[in-house]
Amino acid sequence: MAEIVYPPVIGLARTLFRVMDYRIDVAGTEHIPRTGGAVIACNHVSYLDFIFCGLGARPAKRLVRFMAKESIFRNAVAGPLMRGMHHIPVDRSAGQASYAEALAKLRAGEVVGIFPEATISRSFTVKEIKSGAARLAAEAGVPLVPMALWGTQRLWTKGRPRDMGLRHVPLSILAGEPIAVPADADLDAVTTDLRARMAELLDRLQKGYPDAEPGAWWLPAHLGGTAPTPEEAAELDRRKPED
C-alpha cells in the first residue's frame, strides 16, 4: 500500500507539536507489536485523539488505520487526508462494510485503531464500551492492545470551545499489555476486561499528570474537577448528542 499522505502528515504534526511545545510523554510502546495485525482500543476525550493514539504507535514504526465516522470523510479538507491515510469510514447505519474493511486490514498485517466508547466521554472517565474491538481481534486472530490518552481534552473536546493555541500542554499516552483473544472467546468477558484495563491506564495517567488543577473543567469529578459526573455526562449525551 503506497504511503504518500501519511508520512508528511506525521511530519507536519510533529512540527506543530514542537512549535506549541507540547510536553508529550509516550509509554508502554513495547506492547505495540512490531509486525502483524493488532487492534488498538483507546479511550476518547478529544476530537484530536486519533492523532495522539497514532503517535503512540510510532515508536513501533506502525501506522494506525482508524475507524472514524463517515461524515469526516465528506469534509473538504479532512476527507482527502483521511482517505489518503487509508483510514476506515464508519457509517453507523451500515456498519458491516466498515467492519469487513477493518478485518481485511488486520488480516493483511495492519494495525487498526478503535475508540470503543464510540463518542467522546464528557466525564473524562471510560464510558461503557462496545464489543467491536474484541470481535475484530477474535475474528482476525490478532492481539488487542488497550491504550489511554490524557491532556488532549484541554485542546478540543465536546461541549467546550477549542483552544488550539494553548501552549506547553502535557499530553500523556500509555499503552498496556496486549490481550490475547481466541476465536472462541467470550466477547462480553473480553470487553469487560478491556474496559477495566483502559480505565486503569487512564487512572494512572490522570493521577500522574503534572498540571493537575483542583476545580479545573478538564478534570473528572472524582479527582476534584468540575467535569460532569458519568451520570450527568450520560444525560448530556441524551439531550445534546452532537454537541
Q: Residue type for 118, please?
A: A
Q: For strands 38-42 and 144-150, give the pairing.
A: parallel
Whether 36 shows a pLDDT value over 60: the answer reads yes
Number of structural domains the chain divides into: 1
Q: Is residue 105 part of a domain?
A: yes
For residue 34, the model assigns a pLDDT of 98
Q: Is residue 64 part of a domain?
A: yes
Which grid cell sits at 31?
506492547
For residue 91, the model assigns a pLDDT of 86
Cβ neighbours, 10 Å, residue 47: 16
- Rounded to whole angstroms, the Cα distance separating 50 from 199 reads 18
- Domain harbouring 194, CATH code: 3.40.1130.10
Whether 93 shows a pLDDT value over 90: the answer reads no
Boundaries of domain holding 186:
6-212
Cβ neighbours, 10 Å, residue 218: 22
- 50-73 per-position pLDDT tens digit: 999 999 999 999 999 999 999 999
Q: Is residue 235 part of a domain?
A: no
Q: How confident is the model at residue 157 (pLDDT cuts 50, 70, 90)?
A: very high
For residue 92, the model assigns a pLDDT of 75
- 162-193 per-position pLDDT tens digit: 999 999 999 999 999 999 999 999 999 999 99
Tell me, letter by letter, the H, E, C secondary structure of 119-185.
CCCCCCCCCCCCCHHHHHHHHHCCCEEEEEEECHHHCCCCCCCCCCCCCCCEEEEEECCCECCCCCC
- The lowest-confidence range among 50-59, 84-93, 215-224 is 84-93
- pTM of the complete model: 0.96
What distances in angstroms separate CA 227 from CA 9, 138, 214, 220, 222, one per listed residue? 32, 35, 11, 5, 9
Q: Is residue 242 part of a domain?
A: no
Q: How confident is the model at residue 243 (pLDDT cuts 50, 70, 90)?
A: low
